[in-house]
Chains A and B, each alone.
Chain A
Amino acid sequence: MPEFPISGYHGRVLVADLSRGDVRTVPLDPETALDYLGGRGLATRLLYDTIDPSSDPLGPGNAFVVAASPLIGSNAPTAGRGHMVFKSPLTGVLGTSNSGGTWGAAFKSAGFDALIVKGAAAAPVMIDIAPGKAEILPAGHVWGKTTHETNDILAAPAEPGEPVRVLCIGPAGENLVRFAAVANDRNRVYGRCGPGAVWGSKKLKAVRVRGREKTGLADPEKYRSGLDQALYLMKQAPVTKRLLRDLGTAGLVELINLIAMLPHKNFQDCLHRDEDVERISGETLAKSLLEKAGSCYLCPIGCQRHTRVAGRDGSEERGEGPEYETMVLMGPLCGIYDIDAITRANYRANELGLDTMSCGGTIACAMELAERGLLGREETDGLDLAFGSGAALEALVGMTARREGLGAALAEGAYRLAAGRGHREYAMTVKKLEIPAYDPRASYTQALGYMTSPTGACHLRGGYAVSLAFFGGAKEIPRFSLLQSPIAIRNMQNTGILQDSLGVCRFTGYAFSSDPWARMVSGVTGRDFSVARLDEIENRVATLERQFNVEAGATAEDDTLPDRFADVPIVVEGKERRISREDQERMKQDYYRVRGWDAAGRPTAGLLRALRVEGSRR
Chain B
Amino acid sequence: MKIKAKFFAYFRDLFQGREREVVLLEGATVGDALAVLCDTPERRREVFAGDELKPHLVVMVNGIQVQSLRGLATPLAPGDTLAVFPILGGG
**Chain A, 239-264, CB within 8 A of any chain B CB:** 239-240, 242-244, 246-252, 254-255, 258-260
A371 to chain B, nearest CB (A): 28
Interface centre among A251, A459, A464 (most CB of B within 10 A): A251
Chain A residues 304 to 346 lying within 8 A of chain B, measured CB to CB, are 323-325
A581 within 8 A of B: no
Chain B: interface size category: 20 to 34
The answer for the CA separation of A251 and B8 in the assembled complex, in Å, is 9
Q: Which residues of B33-91 are within 8 A (CB) of A?
A: 56, 58, 60, 63-65, 67-68, 83, 85-91
A324 is contacted by which of B18, B60, B87, B91 (Cβ under 8 Å)? B91
Q: Which residues of A, 389-439, contact B by the 8 Å Cβ criterion?
A: 436, 438
Contact B68 A436 (CB under 8 A): no
Residues of A within 8 A of B10 (CB): 242-243, 246
Among A239, A260, A436, A459, the residue within 8 A (CB) of B89 is A239
Which of chain B's residues have a CB closer than 8 A to the CB of A475?
Answer: 67-68
Is B87 in contact with A471, judged by CB distance below 8 angstroms? yes
Q: A471 contacts B89, CB within 8 Å? A: yes
Asked if B1 is at the interface (CB within 8 A of a chain A CB), the reply is no
A-contacting residues, B4-28, CB 8 Å: 8-10, 12, 18
Q: Given the interface contacts A255-B8, A283-B12, A470-B58, does A239 sit within 8 Å of B88 by beta carbon?
A: yes
Also in contact, A464 and B60, with CB within 8 A (given A238-B86, A258-B83, A283-B9): no
* Chain A interface, number of residues (Cβ within 8 angstroms): 44
In the complex, whether A237 has a CB less than 8 A from a CB of chain B is yes
Known contacts A242-B10, A474-B67, A474-B68; is-contact A249 B60 (Cβ 8 Å): no
**B60 partner residues in chain A, CB cutoff 8 A:** 258-259
Interface residue A37 (Cβ < 8 Å from any Cβ of B): no
A3 at the interface (CB under 8 A from B): no
- With a CB–CB cut-off of 8 A, which chain A residues contact B63? 258-260, 573
Give the interface centre of A246, A249, A436, A474 by most chain B CB atoms within 10 Å: A474
Cα A319 to Cα B64 with chains together (Å): 37
Contact A470 B65, CB 8 Å, known A242-B10, A246-B9: yes
| Distance to closest chain B CB from A254 (angstroms) | 5
CB pair A252 B12 closer than 8 Å: no
Q: Does A303 contact B (CB under 8 A)?
A: yes
Which of B18, B56, B65 is A237 in contact with, Cβ under 8 Å? Answer: B56
Instruction: Please state if B58 and A255 are interface contacts (CB–CB under 8 Å).
Output: yes
The proximity string for A residues 461-485 relative to B, scoring 1 for CB distances below 8 Å and 0 otherwise, is 0001011001111110010000000
For A251, what are the chain B residues with a Cβ–Cβ distance below 8 Å?
Answer: 9, 88, 90
Q: How far is the CB of B75 from chain A (nearest CB, A)?
A: 16
Chain A residues with CB under 8 A of B86: 238-239, 243
Alpha-carbon separation in the docked complex, A470 to B12 (Å): 20
Among A252, A473, A573, the residue within 8 A (CB) of B90 is A252
Asked whether A612 is an interface residue with its Cβ less than 8 Å from the other chain, the reply is no
Q: Give A278's nearest chain B residue, CB to CB.
A: B18
| Cβ–Cβ < 8 Å partners of A297 in chain B | none
A525–chain B nearest beta-carbon distance, Å:
29
- Residues of A within 8 Å of B88, CB to CB, are 239, 243, 247, 251-252, 255, 471
Q: Mark A201-217, 1 if CB is under 8 A from B, else 0.
A: 00000000000000000
CA distance A464 to B60 in the complex (A): 21
A459-B67 contact, Cβ under 8 Å, with A255-B8, A471-B58: no
Binary per-residue interface labels of chain A (187-209) against chain B in the complex, 1 for a CB within 8 Å, 0 otherwise: 00000000000000000000000
* Residue of A246, A250, A471 with highest tally of chain B CB at under 10 A: A471
* Residue from B67, B83, B90 within 8 A of A303 (CB atoms): B90
- Closest A residue to B64 using CB positions: A573
Neighbour of A464 across the interface among B56, B65, B91, CB < 8 A: B91
Contact A249 B56, CB 8 Å, known A283-B12, A474-B65: no
**Contact call A250/B90, Cβ cutoff below 8 A:** yes
| Interface residue? A235 (CB, 8 A) | no
- A243 touching B9, Cβ below 8 Å: yes
Q: Would you list which residues of chain A between 450 and 504 have a CB under 8 Å from chain B?
A: 459-460, 464, 466-467, 470-475, 478
A512 contacts B by Cβ under 8 Å: no
By a CB distance below 8 angstroms, the chain A residues around B85 are 254-255
* B67, B83, B89: the one within 8 Å of A507 (CB): B89
Q: When chains A and B are docked, how far (Å) is the Cα of A507 from the Cα of B56?
A: 15
Cβ–Cβ < 8 Å partners of B18 in chain A: 278
Partner of A283, one of B8, B56, B87, B89: B8
Q: How far is the CA of A229 from the CA of B56 in the complex (A)?
A: 19
Residues of B within 8 A of A282 (CB): 9
* Interface: A24 (CB within 8 A): no
Closest to A258 in B: B63
Contact of A247 among B9, B64, B65, B87 (CB under 8 A): B9
- Inter-chain CA distance A250–B64, complex, in Å, is 21
A459–B90 alpha-carbon span in the complex (Å):
11
Instruction: Name the residue among A259, A325, A472 with the largest chain B CB count within 10 angstroms.
Output: A259
* A233 CB → nearest B CB, Å: 12
A244-B89 contact in complex given A255-B8, A283-B9, A471-B58, C-beta closer than 8 Å = yes
Among A238, A246, A325, which residue has its beta carbon within 8 angstroms of that of B87? Answer: A238
Known contacts A251-B9, A258-B60, A283-B12; is-contact A243 B89 (Cβ 8 Å): yes
A533 within 8 A of B: no
Per the bound structure, the CA–CA distance linking A246 and B91 in Å amounts to 15
The residues of A that contact B87 with a CB separation of less than 8 Å are 238-239, 243, 471-472, 510
Partner of A248, one of B12, B56, B83, B90: B90
Closest to A286 in B: B9
20 contacts between A and B (CB under 8 A): A237-B56, A238-B86, A239-B89, A243-B9, A246-B10, A248-B90, A252-B88, A254-B8, A258-B60, A283-B8, A436-B91, A438-B91, A464-B91, A467-B89, A467-B91, A471-B87, A474-B67, A475-B68, A478-B68, A507-B90
Closest 4 CB pairs of A and B: A249-B90, A239-B89, A474-B68, A510-B89
Residues of A within 8 A of B (CB): 237-240, 242-244, 246-252, 254-255, 258-260, 278, 282-283, 303, 323-325, 436, 438, 459-460, 464, 466-467, 470-475, 478, 506-507, 510, 573
Q: A248-B90, A251-B88, A470-B65 are in contact. List 4 more A-B contacts (CB 8 A).
A: A239-B87, A246-B10, A252-B91, A325-B91
